[in-house]
Structure 1
Amino acid sequence: MQPSNPSTTTELPRTSSATRSLLLQLAAGAALGLVVLYGVAFAESPLMHNAAHDVRHITVKPCH
């Protein structure tokens, strides 16, 4: 009988409910941020549109 080597097992580590909750909150926050940014970028208000446009320039993302 061969000794079991824990480094060769394929079992994934279990995540706690706190970790799952944190990941869910981070994903929800990222999704909300993208929705807000997308909504502001195509807003009719020149003030909101220009603010989003300036953020794109600051983060070195193409916008033209």
Structure 2
Amino acid sequence: MSNLIARRLEGDAVREASDLWPSILAALFGVFILYGVGFASPLTIHDAAHDSRHAFTFPCH
């Protein structure tokens, strides 16, 4: 019986660890959008990122 409980706890730990990846990827994507695209050369992309940064009170220049 204790072996079954241990397996369940290990399964829950793996599930919790795998639930963390979408959050990490979303955060990295957000950083890319706010900072990476803001320095892009096409004016439309830059202006969209620039306005988004100002909307969230991020400094940009």
RMSD: 1.9
TM-score (norm 1): 0.63
More helix, by proportion: 2
Alpha-carbon distance in 1 for matches of 2:26, 2:60 = 24
Q: Which structure has the greater CA radius of gyration?
A: 1
Q: Normalising by structure 2, what TM-score? A: 0.65
Runs (5+) with no aligned partner, structure 2: 1-9
Q: Which runs of 5+ in 1 are unaligned?
A: 1-13
Higher relative contact order (CA 8 A, sep 6+): 2
1:42 maps to 2:42:
no
Percent sequence identity is: 39
The runs of at least 4 consecutive aligned structure 1 residues that moved more than 2 Å come to 35-39
Residue matched to 1:29 = 26
